[in-house]
């Protein structure tokens, strides 16, 4: 293992993948091989790489100084171990970067909790709509307001994209993530306190505090798509699926809490000879639900802080000190290696343009799926469900959101790579989307009104619609991750572009032209 150099890139990759658990001498050999890899394969001209012998800590320090970020990305893409795991030798027992703390399981857990904060705010607002829609003055039009506010949240991604274009490499993604997470935590606390306050605007009552908080939280969620995803590129590909599972948790956790909360049941009571609707109380208040949102956002922010601290601890190289024993001797005892001894049997893969027909096809599907799931259908969800009952609306929102993490979990084990297969998924999801749009257009008298089969069909349609497109988005994200950092940035841009387009199309139809009609409680609307 440590008697000589790696002869090919394949040999090097095998050795690096076995880095964990090796003896010090073998770790030292891995470091030396990485030095040779930089010199011979990547043609790194840095003078820091001229000495491949000596103390292992010194070699690590030289390697870190000599390896630019661009070539660090190359090392990841060709399948080597994440560079920070090569640079930092395992810390002594008891330190922060000890064995349990630096384990893959902890990384996956922190990654999932970090990703949970990306869309937990918007998902929480959506699952709470069946409760607040009967309290806030916007009524059935509230979903359309949320959709357009989420669309305006795209100002965040636009700012990030412009910054990337005007000052490439200048934007510190870690700092941006810390800032938007802190903003989300503060806004969630304000929302819990003031969600029910109303303000008179142009002679009409409006829930201005609720709408402002919705915009700020939407701004954070939208910005997360173009900051969280590019940040993920520094991790191996398996973590991108964990990231999407975490995003699924951002829908699952609010749904579980919303199921426990329930929804106020409608009762029609006679008051002074007239029938008046009366809604029963939920199991716990809306304010408590929003405090739960505050806790989830705080957990996500702390998880990201822990991830950055783990990276810092693992990247840290202690000051150069005199070492005695096998660490120094290991590199001196290894067979001396000259550049001529390294025979390259494989050449680096040629650079390919990202804008291939296949990648454009994936981005178009991604934009279409997000237009439907984040813009078009959510705007009319109240019109598809409330004619049946408030409970139908509640179950459609909650169970539909639960389908999201289930689809993400499926994508961990099965990734559909066929272009025709992805197109088939889009068509299948489009069938359910068409049915739901038809229900909204026929409101307040949709088919099978008053029957349990009608309720079951609309709830099932929302579950399958959400599940199919959620799986499609995760698979496309996984495929684009393989295309590099820029691909993930464009992935986030197309997600938000599709969502924005869907929202801008639906808002005037719902709130200006009133294409969709609402029903009156305790009145036969279809007689």
**Domain-wise residue ranges, the chain:** 1-89, 104-308+352-511
pLDDT bracket for residue 302 (50, 70, 90)? very high
Q: What is the mean pLDDT of the chain?
A: 77
pLDDT at 324: 40
**C-alpha distance across the termini of the chain, in Å:** 84
The continuous run of DSSP H or E covering 274 comes out as strand 274-279
Contacts of residue 367, Cβ cutoff 8 Å, sequence gap at least 6: 494, 495, 497, 498, 501
pLDDT bracket for residue 196 (50, 70, 90)? very high
CB-count burial class (<10 Å; 0-12, 13-18, 19+) for 175 = exposed
* Nearest one of 365, 392, 378, 476 to 433, comparing CA atoms: 378
pLDDT at 468: 96
Global pTM?
A: 0.67
Query: Which carries the bigger pLDDT value, residue 283 or residue 189?
Result: 189
- Exposure string of 364-394, with b = 16+ CB inside 10 Å and e = fewer, is ebbbbbbbbbbbbbbbbbbbbbbbbebbbbb
Contacts of residue 194, Cβ cutoff 8 Å, sequence gap at least 6: 209, 210, 213
Pair of tokens at residue 132: 């607040």
Query: Which carries the bigger pLDDT value, residue 226 or residue 289?
Result: 289
pLDDT > 90: what percent of the chain? 35
Q: Does the bond joining 444 to the residue before it have cis omega, within 30 degrees of 0?
A: yes
* Nearest one of 366, 319, 397 to 487, comparing CA atoms: 366
CATH class for the domain made up of 104-308+352-511? mainly alpha
Pair of tokens at residue 157: 């991604």
* Nearest one of 100, 120, 4 to 52, comparing CA atoms: 4
What is the C-alpha to C-alpha distance for residues 34 and 209, in angstroms, rounded to an integer? 56
């Amino acid at each position: 293992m440590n008697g000589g150099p790696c002869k090919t890139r394949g040999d090097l990759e095998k050795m690096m993948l076995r880095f964990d658990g090796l003896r010090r001498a073998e770790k030292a050999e891995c470091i030396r091989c990485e030095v040779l890899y930089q010199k011979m394969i990547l043609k790194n001209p840095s003078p820091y790489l001229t000495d491949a012998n000596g103390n292992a800590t010194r070699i690590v320090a030289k390697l870190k100084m000599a390896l630019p970020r661009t070539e660090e990305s190359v090392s990841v893409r060709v399948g080597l171990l994440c560079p920070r795991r090569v640079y930092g030798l395992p810390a002594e027992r008891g330190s922060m970067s000890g064995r349990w703390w630096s384990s893959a399981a902890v990384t996956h857990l922190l990654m999932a909790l970090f990703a949970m904060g990306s869309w937990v705010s918007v998902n929480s607002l959506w699952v709470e709509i069946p409760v607040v829609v009967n309290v806030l003055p916007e009524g059935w039009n509230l979903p359309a307001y949320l959709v357009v506010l989420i669309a305006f949240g795209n100002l965040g991604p636009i700012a990030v994209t412009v910054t990337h274009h005007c000052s490439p490499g200048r934007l510190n993604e870690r700092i941006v993530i810390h800032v938007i997470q802190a903003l989300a935590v503060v806004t969630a606390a304000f929302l819990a306190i003031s969600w029910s306050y109303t303000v008179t605007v142009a002679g009409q009552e409006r829930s201005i505090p609720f709408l402002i908080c919705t915009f700020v939280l939407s701004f954070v969620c939208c910005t997360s798509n173009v900051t969280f995803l590019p940040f993920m590129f520094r991790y191996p590909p398996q973590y991108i699926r964990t990231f999407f599972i975490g995003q699924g948790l951002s829908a699952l956790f609010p749904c579980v809490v919303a199921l426990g909360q329930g929804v106020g049941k409608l009762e029609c009571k006679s008051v002074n000879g007239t029938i008046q609707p009366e809604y029963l109380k939920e199991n716990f208040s809306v304010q408590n639900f929003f405090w739960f949102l505050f806790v989830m956002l705080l957990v996500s922010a702390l998880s990201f802080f822990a991830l950055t601290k783990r990276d810092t601890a693992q990247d840290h190289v202690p000051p150069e000190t005199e070492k005695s024993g096998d660490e120094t001797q290991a590199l001196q005892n290894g067979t001396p290696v000259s550049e001529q001894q390294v025979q390259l049997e494989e050449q680096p893969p040629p650079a390919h343009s990202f804008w291939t027909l296949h990648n454009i096809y994936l981005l178009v599907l991604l934009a279409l799926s997000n237009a439907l799931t984040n813009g078009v259908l959510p705007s009319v969800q109240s019109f598809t469900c409330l004619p049946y009952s408030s409970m139908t609306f509640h179950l459609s929102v909650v169970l539909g959101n639960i389908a999201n993490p289930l689809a993400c979990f499926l994508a961990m084990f099965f990734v559909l790579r066929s272009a025709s297969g992805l197109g088939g998924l889009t068509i299948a999801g489009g069938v359910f989307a068409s049915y739901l749009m038809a229900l909204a257009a026929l409101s307040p008298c949709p088919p099978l009104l008053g029957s349990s089969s009608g309720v079951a069909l609309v709830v099932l349609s929302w579950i399958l619609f959400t599940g199919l497109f959620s799986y499609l988005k995760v698979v496309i994200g996984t495929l684009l991750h393989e295309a590099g950092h820029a691909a993930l940035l464009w992935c986030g841009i197309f997600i938000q572009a599709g969502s924005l387009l869907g929202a801008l199309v639906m808002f005037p139809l719902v709130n200006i032209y009133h294409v969709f009609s609402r029903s009156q409680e305790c009145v036969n609307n279809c007689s």
